[in-house]
Structure 1
Amino acid sequence: MKWARERAKMDTKELLKKVRKIEIKTRRLSDHVFGGEYHSAFKGRGMTFSEVRQYQFGDDVRSIDWNVTARYNEPFVKVFEEERELTLMLMVDVSGSEMFGTQSQFKKEVITEIAATLAFSATQNNDKIGLMLFTDKIELYIPPKKGRSHVLRIIRELIEFKPEGKKTNIAGALKYLSNVLKKKAIVFLLSDFIADKYQHTLKIAANKHDLTGIRVYDRREEEIPNLGIVQMQDEETGEYLTVNTGSKSVRNNYAEFYRKRKNYFTESFRLSGAGTIDTRVDESYVTKLLGYFKRRG
C-alpha cells in the first residue's frame, strides 16, 4: 500500500514536471512569437460602443452623436472598440495512430505542444479556451474558460489522458462541436487525418465557426520502405499483420491509400472554406503556425 502511494506521488511529480516543461517552452513561443500574430489573425466579433468624446479635427463626421451634440451645443463623437473576447476550441484526435513516430517525437507530443502554444496565445488576448479529445467517440470535453490554471489543466489532459477508443471519427467530433458550441468560435482540429467521410459535417461546422485543420504526420507514413517481410501493428485496431515490404505492389498500394487520405483532407477543407496547416513531426511547427497567422492577418 505504501509502495502504491509512493508510486502515485512519483507519477504526479513526473506529470507536473512534464506540464511545466511544456508550459515554459510554449508560453515563451506565445509571448514572443504568436501573441500579436494571433490577435491580428483572429479578429473580434465586431465593434462595440465604448464612450462619447468631444469632436476633434480629423474625426469622421459620420461618427458624430447628434443627440449628445444637440444637448451640449457642441459636436461629440461616438467611440467604438473592437469586441475582442473570443472562444478558442481545441479539437484533438487521441486515437491510436497519434502514438506513431519514427523521428524525435510522436505525433501526439507535437500535437500537445501546438495545442498548448495556441492556448497560451489565446490567454494573452483574454479569450476563453476549451478542449475536446476524441477517437471514434468523444473521450473528454472541457467547456471554454479563461485563465492560466485552466490552460494548465488542458495541458495535463493532453499529456496523461488515456482514451478508451482507438479508431478515428472526425465527422462525429465535428457534429458534437456543432451541438455544444452555439456561438461562433475559433476552432483548431488537430489530427493526422487518416480518415474519411467527414467532408459534409466539416462544411456545416466551418459555416458556423472559424475552423482550421492542423495535419500532423510522420515521413514514414507517406511510404513504406523496403525492409523485406516485417510484422506491423495497426495502432487503431491492435491487429498484427505480416507485410512483405519488398513487394513493389504492396508499397504502391499503401502509397496510393495515403495519398487519397491526404488529398481528401486538402479538398474537404478547401471546399468548406476552412484553413489548413501541414506539419511533419521533424519540421518546425513554429514556422508553419507563424506563416499561417501572417497570411490571415
Structure 2
Amino acid sequence: METSELLQKVRHIEIKARGLSRNIFAGEYHSAFKGRGMAFSEVREYQYGDDLRDIDWNVTARYNRPYVKVFEEERELTVMLLIDVSESQSFGSTSIVKRDMVAQIAATLAFSAIQNNDKIGVIFFTDKIEKFIPPKKGRKHILFIIREILGFTPGSSGTEIDQALRYMTNGIKKRCTAFLISDFIDSHDYKHALRIANRKHDLVAIQVYDALSTRLESVGLMKVHDPESDKDTWIDTSSKKTREQYRTWWTRRQAEMDVAFKQSRVDSVSVSTEDDYVKSLLQLFQQRR
C-alpha cells in the first residue's frame, strides 16, 4: 500500500471512529468497562446489605466486629488490543477486507478509551508475537496504531492465539481490559490460555469474519488458496455434498469457539465484513452493563 493511500485510509478511519466514540460509544464504553477497574480505598464498619465478599477479615479480627473493604473506581484503565495480523486477515469478498474492519473496530475502541482517560497498547500476533506497542495516551499514539494495523507486514503467516494470550498474561502486570480481535481461524487449542488470561484481566473477544467464509457457492471447480499455509486446493463447489460438508465444518467450528468463550467466561461478539460493526459493538457494551 502506497504512503498516500495509507494516510488517506488512516484519516478516513480517524474521522469515523472519533465521531462514533464521541457521539455514541463514550457513555456505553464507560458503563461497560470503567466500573471493572476498582482500586482499594479504605475500610469501614459493616452495614446491612454490604457484600459479604468485601469483608476484611484481618481488620474484623483485630477490632472484633465486621469491617468491609471500600473500593473506588480507578480514574484510569489500561486497555490492550490483541490484534491478529496473520495472512488470513487480508481476505475479503466485499469492498472491505478483514484487516480494514479490524482497523475500524480497533480505532473506535481506542478513541473511546482515550475519551475516558485510559491508556491503550497493542500486541500484534500471528503464530508468534510480531510487535508490542506499550500503552500510552493521545491522538498521535492512536493514529500510529491505526497505521500499523493497516500497513504492518508480519514476519509469519500462521495463527496461534494462545501465544498472544500468554504474552499478555505474563507481560502486563496490572489488571487491564483486553480486546482479542481475530477471525479465530486457529488449529491450535487456545482454551486454557483464554481461561488464564481472563482470570487476571478483563478479556473480550471480537471475531471478524468474511461472510463468504460461512458457505460455498456453487460455481463449479474452484481453486482455493490458503494464505497462511500458502497452499492451493481444488474444490468441486457444484457438489452438494461438498457444500454441505463445508457448512457443517463452519457451524461446528463456530460452536466450538462459542463454547470456549462461555467456559472461560469471556464476553464475545462476531462481526461480518458485511455487518454494521457499530450495532455489534453496542450490543457487546450493553450486555456487559
Which bracket does the TM-score occupy, shorter chain normalised?
0.7 to 0.9
Match of 2:17 in 1: 26
| Residue ranges of structure 1 left out of the alignment (5+ in a row) | 1-9, 51-78
The answer (yes or no) to whether the contact 1:88–1:185 under 8 Å persists in 2 is yes
Give SS of 2:175's match: coil
2:88: which partner in 1?
A: 97
Which whole-Å CA distance do the structure 2 matches of 1:98 and 1:47 have between them? 38
Percent sequence identity over aligned pairs: 47
Segments of 5+ residues of structure 2 without an aligned counterpart are: 43-69
208, 212, 224: which is aligned to 1:220? 212
Q: Give the Cα–Cα distance (whole angstroms) in 2 for the partners of residues 278 and 168 of structure 1.
A: 18
Q: Distance in 1 between matches of 2:38 and 2:249?
A: 44
Structure 2 match to 1:58: none
Match of residue 277 from structure 2: 285
Matched, 1:135 2:126: yes
Equivalent in the alignment of 2:53: none
Say whether 1:187 aligns with 2:174: no
Q: What does the per-residue CA deviation read over 1:14-43, in whole Å, with 9 as the maximum and x for residues that have no partner?
A: 322221111001110001010111111111
Secondary structure at the counterpart of residue 133 of structure 1: strand
8 A contact 2:102–2:208 mirrored in 1 = yes
| Aligned pairs for 1:68-147 within 5 A | 82-147=73-138
Q: Could you report, residue by residue, the CA deviation over 1:169-219 in whole angstroms, capped at 9, with x for unpaired residues? A: 011111111111111111101111122411111000011111111011122
Name the stretch that deviates more: 15-24 or 33-42: 15-24
1:66: which partner in 2? none
Spell out, residue by residue over 1:104-125, the C-alpha distance to the aligned partner (whole angstroms, 9 max, x if none). 2111111110000000000000
Q: Extract structure 1 runs of 4+ deviating beyond 6 A.
A: none
Counterpart of 2:235 in structure 1: which amino acid?
V
Conserved 8 A contact 2:209-2:273: yes
In the TM superposition, what is the alpha-carbon distance from 1:153 to its structure 2 partner? 0.8
SS at the partner of 2:76?
A: coil
Alignment-derived partner of residue 203 in structure 1: 195
- Tell me whether 1:237 sits opposite 2:229 in the alignment: yes
Which has the greater radius of gyration?
1
Matched residue, 2:162:
171
Distance 1:83 1:243 in 2: 54
Three-state SS of the structure 1 residue aligned to 2:174 is coil
Deviation at 1:237, TM superposition (A): 1.2
Give the conservation status (yes or no) of the 8 Å contact 2:124–2:131: yes
Count matched residues: 260
C-alpha distance in 1, partners of 2:75/2:36? Answer: 4
Calculate the aligned-residue CA RMSD, in Å. 1.9
Check if 1:12 corresponds to 2:3: yes
Output the amino acid matched with 1:294.
Q
